[in-house]
Structure 1
Amino acid sequence: MTTRTANGFTPIDQNLYAQAFRLLDPTPEPAAPAPVPVILAAAPAVHRTGPVEQTLTDALAFLDTHGWAKHRLIHPEGARCSIGALRAAAGTRNAAYRDAGNLLLAEARRQHGKQWQAIPAWNDHHTGAQVRGVWEAAIQRAHHLNI
C-alpha cells in the first residue's frame, strides 16, 4: 500500500490558526465568586376579604354611618336594624347575604342563647353595644374562615 503525502494544499501558517482560535475563544474571564445564598423571609400571606366578611363589614359600616334601630327595618331618619343593614350592604339577597345572615345569627345565638330563631327578634331584644359585639365577632369569624 502506498500512501501519498502530497495533498496539493498550500501550507498555512500555524500562528494564523492560533490567532483565529484566540479570537473565537478569548481568554476566559476570571470566574465570579460563588453567590452567597440569601435566605428571604417568607412574605406573610395576603388575606383576601371574602364576600361574607365584606358583606358583614359593609353592613356594620352602614350601621355606624346611618345608625342602629330597633323594632323596624328602616327608621324614618335612616337608621336600620341589623337585618336592614345586612340587606343594604348586600344589595340583593344573594349567597353572601344568606351566609352573612346565618353567620350573624349563629354568633348571636352563641353569645345570647339558642332561643333566637331570627335576626330581627335578637336585634330588638338587645342593646346597641351587645348587637355591635355580635357583629364584630361575626366579622372576625368570617375573616378566620376566609369566607
Structure 2
Amino acid sequence: MTTQTASGFTAVDSDLYTQAFRLLDPAPEPSTPAPAAPAPAAFVLAAPPVHRPGAVEKTLTDALDFLDTHGWAKHRLIHPEGARCSIGALRAAAGARNDAYRDAGNLLLDEARKQHGKGWESIPAWNDSHTGPQVRGVWEAAIQRAHHLNI
C-alpha cells in the first residue's frame, strides 16, 4: 500500500528566519557577561568580648572572695581565726589604701544605705549591725553596680 502525502508547503529559504529576527532586533547589543559574584566572605566566629573588670569591681570581687574563703566577722577587723569584717576584707583585697580601695568602700557604703537606710556613717557600723546574708546581699549588689558602671 502506498500512501501519498501532499504537504502543500512551499520550501522556505533557510536564512528567512535569521533575516526576520534581524528585522525585529536590528542591532543586538553584545552580551556582557554578568559580573562575577563576589567570593563569599569568610565567616570568623569571634569570641564574645571578654569582660575586664575595673579596679573597683575587682577590689569588691576579691574582697567578697576573701570573705567566702576566710569567713566574715562582726565587731573586729580581723578575727583570731582569720575571718574579717567588710572593711578588713576590702583592705586585704586592695592591698593598700589606694583609689580602688576608697572607691570600692564608697560604693559598698552607698549600696548599704540604699538597702538598709541612709543612717549608716561607716562600713564597720553597718557591717556590725546586720546578718551575714544581709551583708552578702549588699556586697553582691555593689559588685553588680561596679560591673554595670564599668569601674
- TM (norm. structure 1) is 0.73
Instruction: Report the equivalent of 1:110.
Output: 114
Q: Which runs of 5+ in 1 are unaligned?
A: 1-30
SS of the equivalent of 2:60 reads helix
CA deviation vs aligned residue, 1:31-58 (integer Å, no higher than 9, x gap)? 9753135676876433211110000000
The answer to whether 1:60 aligns with 2:70 is: no
CA deviation vs aligned residue, 1:40-83 (integer Å, no higher than 9, x gap)? 68764332111100000000000001100000100111110000
Instruction: Report the equivalent of 2:21.
Output: none
Q: 2:76 aligns with which of 53, 72, 77?
A: 72
Q: 1:140 aligns with which of 144, 147, 150?
A: 144
Query: Aligned letter for 1:104?
Result: L
Q: 2:50 aligns with which of 46, 49, 52?
A: 46
How many residues are matched? 117
SS of the equivalent of 2:124 reads helix
Q: Distance in 2 between matches of 1:90 and 1:84?
A: 10
Q: Which runs of 5+ in 2 are unaligned?
A: 1-34
Instruction: Report the equivalent of 1:96.
Output: 100
- Identity, % of aligned pairs? 79
C-alpha RMSD over aligned residues:
2.1
